Amino acid sequence: MLKRCLPAIALFLLAPAVGELLLGNLAFSQLPLFLPVLAPMYGGGALLIREVTRRAGRGPVTMLILGVAYGLVEEGLADQMLFNHFYAGHDEMGATYIPALGMGGWLTIGVLTMHAVWSTNAGIALVEALFPERAETPWLGRTGLGVTAAIFTLGTAVVMWGSYNDEHFFARPGQLIATVVAIVALVAVAFRVRPRALLDGAAPRPWVVGVVAFAAASLFLNTADLPGWWSVAAATALLVVTVTVTSRWCRRRGWGRGHRLGLAAGAILTYAWVGFGMTPETAAKTTGDYVVNVVLALGSVALIALAARRLHGFRPPLAADEEKAEVRF
């Protein structure tokens, strides 16, 4: 039973580890919050996205869109950071604040991208590479899926309660309604994605994909330091270019699981180095925080290396190694 559920358990723990700990958002003193608070929402959310996608016979494009929806659940409904001008005592919106929406330009683009990529899909891709023989099949039965949904709902409610307790902030009804509508629309779009025609030419090597992903992710996270709306323009341009290039690569001959691992590895290693310079939201950085950074960075490298080795040694059944264009993204 434990062996059967091992991939699901791994993702449940890895998602919050990447989404919060690797980036350095959580202070060393707050580590006790990892399992009771972060794992139910992050881990439950990532696992739910992965399971409903695979059960529907869909692939990574669907997961990516659902990752954006997850970002809206967490940042728009749970902790409501998208609408809180001075979240955790900091002016997170700065010069790109849009008064009519009560939202920040870069903040909205930044946090939704971070959740879609790092909080959900990077962990999913890494765990699927660690268990290649089960990468495209469900890891949970119906009961397990129901329990996961319940855990995610409970985790979201706990974060909402805790955030309100700390911030004493609640978004306007119109903002919350618009967020729910956007979430529903994204979920509907996610399951209407269809495969696109293959393109001529061969896909680049997985390590090239990983290097490009690392460079793009590093540049994206640093666009926040640009002045005013230049940050929004740069972040948007990077997203458009990265999505366009990747969507063309994944429709070329030879694209497969190793390339998807390359994308995840580039993103995860970006968080690993950025985390060393990140100051936790609620406290000054301490020696303990740097120790956590080192341990998690080394652990990330080890997991990526292990996943690459397992993929290299994996031989899929005949006719199962060529994924559909939508799945291959």
Summarised one tens digit per residue, pLDDT across range 269-286 is 999 999 999 988 777 899
What pLDDT does 315 receive?
Answer: 77
- For residue 253, the cross-strand partners are 202
Looking at residue 319, its pLDDT comes to 43
Percentage of the chain exceeding pLDDT 90: 84
CA distance 73 to 64: 14
Determine the average pLDDT of the residues in 10-20.
96
**pLDDT, tens digit (0-9, with 9 covering 90-100), for 135-152:** 999 999 999 999 999 999
Mean pLDDT of the chain: 93
Sequential DSSP letters for 3-19: HHHHHHHHHHHHHHIII
Tokens matching residue 205:
């090597």
pLDDT in tens, 49-62: 999 999 999 999 99
What are 158's two structure tokens?
């706990």
Which of 17-31, 169-183, 213-227, 254-268 is the least confident region? 17-31
**How much is the average pLDDT of 174-180?**
97
Mean pLDDT of 82-99: 92
How many Cα atoms sit within 13 Å of 3 on the Cβ side? 0
The neighbour count for residue 316, using CB atoms within 10 Å, is 15
| Residue 325 confidence (pLDDT) | 41
Give the integer Cα–Cα distance in Å for 41 and 73.
10
pLDDT band at 118 (very low <50, low <70, confident <90, very high): very high
Higher pLDDT pick, 294 / 33 = 294
Token output for 313: 């040694």
What integer pLDDT is reported at residue 329 of this predicted model?
37
Answer with the residue of higher pLDDT: 19 or 313: 19
Query: In this structure, are residues 286 and 28 in contact, taking their beta carbons and an 8 Å threshold?
Result: yes
Helix axes 122-130, 257-277, angle to 10 degrees: 130
Q: Residue 215: helix, strand or coil by DSSP?
A: helix
CA 221 to CA 213: how far, in whole Å? 12
Q: 15 near 43, Cβ under 8 Å?
A: yes
Q: How confident is the model at residue 327 (pLDDT cuts 50, 70, 90)?
A: very low
In 3D space, the residue among 259, 257, 252, 265 whose CA is nearest the CA of residue 320 turns out to be 257
- For the chain, give the percent of residues with pLDDT over 70: 96
